[in-house]
Amino acid sequence: MIQAEKETTFIKIFETHSLTDIAFVKSILDEEEIEYFLQGENMQFIQPIMDPVILMVAEKDVTKVVELLKPFKLNTSGFIFGHA
């Protein structure tokens, strides 16, 4: 019997227009081996003002990511705290 893998649910953590913040956050999440993706990252080079980049994190890692990013002043909107 073949067992299907459980599909990962991703949660929106924040959105930003800052390429600096995107690079900084990616380096932190990569170092911690956090499962994430950046929705609209490639569009920043085409429409930098129009559409923000949205950080989506695997549900299992949300609390860890919020704690990792809390100490930093990021140019973001929609940052979530206390999500369980």
pLDDT tens-place values along the chain, 84 residues long: 666 667 889 999 998 888 888 999 999 999 999 999 999 876 655 665 678 889 999 999 999 999 999 888 887 765 554 343
Length of the chain: 84
Please give the pLDDT value at position 1. 60
Axis-axis angle for helices 19-31, 62-69 (nearest 10): 120
Residue type, 4: A
Q: Which domains does the chain have, with CATH numbers?
A: 10-77 (3.30.70)
39, 43, 48, 80 from 25: Cα distances, Å: 14, 17, 18, 15
Please give the pLDDT value at position 81. 43
pTM value is 0.76
